[in-house]
């Protein structure tokens, strides 16, 4: 009887030892570190793009160009870019010739491009925005030291062509520049949507590889001491380069971080 008890006790002790020496419970997976892109989620919505060549000395730029640009931007989901021409205080030759190299003024200003079409009709913009988006863009910016850091996400949708040659443009803009505008009788007039600088000095962007799904980007642009940091923001536009007839940089979609 004692021997049987000893055997049972040994079996119980061995079982307990076997259990205690088993594989430990796996450690829970650590929470992923947050990233600047976590709150960026591009919508499957087609934005508009309006590029306006303008200058302070141009009367028509003030009396009908400014109201047209304002009307376009107020539609919502429209990136509006004011590119200042020669002799304007905020003229930037690199940006001006960069933009006009693919979307010309047609010989005078104001000159408007809505997407890939030179037009002054808001209906052109409406038509552009009614198409099905093949990709979406979302972005945000922050000021770090003497740089504007732009975080963006490009998300592809079902109809996106993965074999295209794509360029991503990141352009800094500024609102609230106070100087006169011919055609507007307001000495306190403030110029908005003014293009300030482009990443790589390329207003139509630098080449990028766009994979199916979400693509994350980070760009840094040096802040000019002339700029009012409180009034700057950025736009990010995806172009597809194709063909030989200008514009060869075809507008795909875009967005901006304008408040």
Give the model confidence (pLDDT) of 36-66 as tens digits: 999 999 999 999 999 999 999 999 999 999 9
- Domain holding 231, by residue range, is 48-256
For residues 249 and 167, the answer to whether their CB atoms sit within 8 Å is yes
Reported confidence tier of residue 196, pLDDT bands at 50, 70, 90: very high
Count of domains in the chain? 1
Domain with 137 in it: what CATH number?
A: 2.60.40.10
In a domain, 11, yes or no: no
The tokens for 129 are 């925005």
- Examine residue 172 and state whether it is found in any structural domain, yes or no: yes
Q: What is the pLDDT of residue 19?
A: 44
Q: Tokens representing 81? A: 């870019």
- Strands 214-222, 147-156: pairing is antiparallel
The 10 Å Cβ neighbour count of residue 18 is 9
Query: Is residue 163 predicted with pLDDT exceeding 70?
Result: yes
Please give the Cα distance from 167 to 204 (Å, whole number): 7
Q: Indicate whether 30 belongs to any domain.
A: no
Q: Which residues of 51-69 are buried (b: 16+ CB within 10 A; e: fewer)?
A: bbbbbbbbeebbeebbebb
- In sequence order, what are the beta bridge partners of 148? 143, 221
Residue 198 lies in a domain: yes
Mean pLDDT of 243-250: 98
Token couple for 9: 């006790």
Q: Residue 23: what pLDDT?
A: 56
What is the pTM (predicted TM-score) of this model? Answer: 0.89
């Amino acid at each position: 009887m004692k021997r049987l008890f000893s055997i049972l006790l040994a079996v119980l002790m061995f079982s307990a030892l076997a259990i205690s020496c088993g594989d430990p419970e796996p450690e829970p997976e650590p929470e992923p570190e947050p990233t600047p892109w976590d709150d960026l989620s591009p919508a499957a919505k087609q934005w508009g793009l309006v590029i306006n060549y303008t200058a302070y000395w141009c009367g028509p730029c003030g009396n009908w160009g400014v109201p047209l640009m304002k009307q376009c931007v107020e539609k919502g989901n429209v990136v509006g870019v004011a590119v200042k021409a020669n002799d304007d205080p905020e003229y930037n030759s690199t940006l001006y010739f960069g933009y006009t190299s693919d979307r010309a003024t047609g010989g005078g200003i104001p000159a408007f491009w809505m997407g890939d079409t030179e037009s002054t009709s808001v209906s052109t913009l409406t038509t552009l925005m009614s198409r099905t988006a093949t990709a979406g863009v979302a972005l945000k910016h922050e000021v770090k030291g003497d740089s504007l850091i732009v975080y963006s996400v490009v998300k592809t949708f079902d109809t996106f062509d993965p074999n295209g040659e794509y360029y991503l443009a990141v352009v800094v803009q500024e609102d609230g520049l106070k100087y006169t505008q011919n055609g507007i009788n307001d000495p306190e007039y403030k110029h908005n949507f003014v293009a300030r600088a482009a990443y790589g000095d390329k207003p139509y962007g630098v080449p990028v590889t766009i994979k199916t799904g979400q693509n994350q980007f980070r760009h840094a642009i040096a802040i000019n001491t002339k700029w009012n940091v409180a009034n700057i923001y950025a736009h990010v536009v995806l172009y597809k380069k194709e063909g030989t007839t200008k514009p060869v940089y075809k507008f795909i979609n875009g967005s901006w971080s304008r408040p």
